[in-house]
Structure formats: C-alpha cells, structure tokens
Amino acid sequence: MRDKSVSIAKGISIALVVMAHSICIDFIVRCIAIYVLSLFFFMSGYCFKDKYLDDALAFIKKRFTGIYWPYLKWSLLFLLLHNVFYHLHIYSDEYGYGGKTSVFYTSSDFVRKAISIATKMQGHEQLLGAYWFMKLLFVGSFIFYIALKVLKSKAWGALLLLALSVLLSTLDWKLYYFNIGTREFYAAFFLYIGYLYKKHQMDFHQRPWIWCLAVILVVAGTQLWFTTMHNYDYWKIFPHAFTAILAILTLLCFSQRLSRKAENKSVKCIIFIGDHTIEVLTWHFLSMKLVSLMLIAIYHLPIKRLSEFPVIEEYARQGWWIAYLIVGVAIPVIWTFYYHLFKDRLINNTFDKVHTR
C-alpha cells in the first residue's frame, strides 16, 4: 500500500522551498534552509526498495529516467529560450542573483553550456537555479547504492559516509571536471539514514521529546551552525546532520498524522504537490516573475527590474513574499494538474475509439 505520508512530507517541503525563495522573514528562511533539502534525500532512501540491490540495471534506469532525463530535458529547453528571456527582460545585464547578471548568448555559449549540462549536470539557467539539487540527488543515489552493496546495509555505513563528507570538506576535494565532492557524499548520508530508518522500522518520530529537541536545535542552528546542503564548513556537518535529522523526523510524524485525513481536499492537494515536486522546482522561479511584473506595474518600476532574481527583494520583504509563494506553488501545480487531466482524457478517448471499431 502506498505511503501517502511521504508525498505529504515532500509537498510541505517543496512549498517551504518556494517560501524561502520568496525572501520572507530572514529567521524563517534560515529555519527552512537548515533542513528542508535534506528531507528529499532522506525520503529517497526511505522509499528505496531492496529489490534494486539484485537488479543494478533497473536502479540505474530508474535514476536516469527519474532524475537525469528531467534535468537534461528542462535544462536544454530553458537554455534554448535564454535569448528570448533576455529580450523579455527576465534576464538582463543589470540585475540577477547575488550580483551575477546575464548576457545575450552566442552560438558558442549555447554549445558550451549544453555540453556542461549533459556531461556534468552544471551550467543550467538561472531560472532553474534550484536544479543543483538534482545533481546531488542523482550522484548521491549512486554513492548510496554502492555503499549499500559493499557494506551490506550495516548501520555504521552512515557514519562512514558522514566521516567522508567531513574529510572531503576539510581537503576541499572535488572530482576533476564533474565537480563531485563533499555535497554528493553528504547527500548519500541522508539517503542511507532514510533507508535504515525505514528498514529497521524505527519510530523515533512518534516521540514528543524529539519534536521539542528539533525545534530547539533548529532555532539554535540558525545562529550557531547555520548551513545548508548547498554550502557549509566542515565543522558544521555533524551538528547540521543531527539537527536536520530531528527536523525531518518531526515533519515525518506530522505527515503521517495528516495522512489519516487523506480524503480531505487540502490534504489531497498537498499529496498532489508532493507527487510533482520536480514540476514545482522547475517552474516556480518563472512563475514568480508574474508577481514581479505586477509590482513593476503597480509601483511604476523600470522593466529591467523584472530580471531581479528570484524576486524584487525590497517589496518581498514588505509582505509581497506571500504573493510570490502562492503564485510560485499554484501555477506549476495547476498547470501540471490540467496537463495530466488532458493527457489522461486523450489516452482514454484514443483507447475507446480503438476498441469501438
């Protein structure tokens, strides 16, 4: 039977990712960032099926079709649209992310970036800025799989992966060209933890003291060892790992309780979002440009400010982050819902016509 709590946890988490990108209150952003992406790695390991340990080809195919292909497909599409977006002021040479602006691409730029996207899962467009996560999940899955095969699912394998993460971070080591290093091993650690938690049917997430400790550590972590899966110092890895795991278990408990009301419309919506996290990850930055466009019209701002990324920060901090959040989640979800509805009806109509001849 399908575990709907996994989809609920993922749905809540991807909404929190969009919320963080909407530039809401700094403290809330830091609380979200300290754990939220770790949950997706944990859940991937949590959902891993032992049958793949005896069928490596099936596992490889699943990873390529489920992660690499969506990454490649959408990254190349957004790359091809770069100059169109540039003309529409979605990109510009004046505004961007963290001071990094954009330029009009030449033919050589397209080729160079396409090669980087296809061979090392890097170089994707600014509108797909969150796609760095997909490389971590893709490569981390294979590290996790190899660790399971070699270590025979031993619990100390998680500690080994965590120790390797610290060591590689200390040495600042990266695999030449592919730029694989600490982050991928750290992702594999969370995959391994999620797998062990499900395999051994642990229930720490049901214990109230876990929730209290998680809140305390998340709040403390925002000040003392704040870090994310994207960027961190080696000495922060251990406290961050412990904090993230407790926060994940707290959300897992909440999600399992919410799954008991799976027939509720709101819960169904969360489940649908959780089942389509890649679509939200792909389209939320572009969708949020609609709010920026509205702000430009309301406050008579220069059109080039549309290229401020991910949002027009000064207005987001005044409360417009709520609109960015709603639009950033709603538009990808609504589009995905009606796309699948149309697709299913088309298939059913085709099937009916074939069988009525």
Can you list the pairs that 77-80 forms with residues at least 24 positions away whose Cβ atoms lie under 8 Å?
A: 78/124, 78/125, 78/127, 78/128, 79/110, 79/113, 79/114, 79/117, 79/124, 79/125, 80/110
pLDDT by 10s per residue, the chain, length 357 = 678 999 999 999 999 999 999 998 899 999 998 889 999 999 999 999 999 999 999 999 999 999 999 999 999 999 999 999 999 999 999 998 877 899 999 999 999 999 999 999 999 999 999 999 999 999 999 999 999 999 988 889 999 999 999 999 998 888 888 989 999 999 999 999 999 999 999 988 989 999 999 999 999 998 888 887 777 788 899 999 999 999 999 999 999 999 999 889 999 999 999 999 999 999 999 999 999 999 999 999 999 999 999 999 999 999 999 999 999 999 999 999 999 888 877 766 665 555 555
Q: Quote helix, strand, coil % in the chain, to nearest 5.
A: 80, 0, 20
What's the confidence (pLDDT) of residue 107? 96
What's the confidence (pLDDT) of residue 357? 59
CA distance linking residue 320 with residue 226, whole number of Å? 26
For residue 10, give both structure tokens: 């993922």
What's the confidence (pLDDT) of residue 229? 76
Look up residue 198 and give its amino acid: K
In sequence order, which ranges of 82-131 are alpha helices (DSSP H)? 82-87, 107-120
Closest alpha carbon to 189 in 167, 205, 208: 167
Look up residue 290 and give its amino acid: L
What's the confidence (pLDDT) of residue 351? 52
Phi, psi of 42 (to 5 degrees): -55, -45
CA distance linking residue 161 with residue 51, whole number of Å? 22
For residue 127, give both structure tokens: 């509108």
Closest alpha carbon to 119 in 165, 180, 60, 57: 180
What's the confidence (pLDDT) of residue 13? 96
CA distance linking residue 6 with residue 259, whole number of Å? 9
Q: What is the pTM of this model?
A: 0.94
- Helix 208-224 to helix 26-33 angle (10° resolution) is 120
| Residues comprising the chain, all counted | 357
What's the confidence (pLDDT) of residue 340? 85
What's the confidence (pLDDT) of residue 304? 93
Alpha carbon 56 to its chain's center: 25
Cβ atoms of 258 and 267 within 8 Å: the answer is yes
